[in-house]
Amino acid sequence: MKEKLNEFLLSRPFHQWLGLSVLDVGDDYVEIAATWRPEWIVNPEGQYIHGGILAALVDLGADMSLYSLIGKGVPTIDLRVDYHAPARGNLRVVGKVVRFGKRVSSAQAEVFDRDGRLVASGRGVFHTGG
């Protein structure tokens, strides 16, 4: 499954730009690395990453946890993101399915910075069928 998920991620230009690679995958769990890019910086003085990048990674981590269950990406219906600290450097995303349903499912994701500190987390609702 890890190779299949990596192949899926790298077939998307935005995912390529994010520098994604799958670190681990289970039946309802995924761990993904995102390689830092200077274009992510929102504040040159503080060198921290724009919240939009973190939100995209929360969405992606939650969505890919569902991919690990059903073998395909699914559309996002709703997404909530909480920001916990400024993010710098390479990032790691951990996504987990919260509830899988025939039509609608929910999943969550956490984003960690290069020092392993939680910088963002969130939960999404996804259209999984019907």
Please report, for the chain, the start and end positions of each structural domain, with discontinuous segments joined by +. Answer: 2-127
Q: What is the mean pLDDT of residues 7-27?
A: 94
Which residues sit opposite 49 in a β-bridge? 41
Burial annotation 51-69 (CB, 10 A radius, 16+ → b, else e): eebbbbbbbbbbbbbbbbb
Q: Hey, what CATH class is 2-127 in?
A: alpha beta
- H-state helical runs in 29-119: 51-70
pLDDT in tens, 93-115: 999 999 999 999 999 999 999 89
**Global confidence as pTM:** 0.95
3-state secondary structure of 3: helix
Q: What is the mean pLDDT of residues 30-55?
A: 95
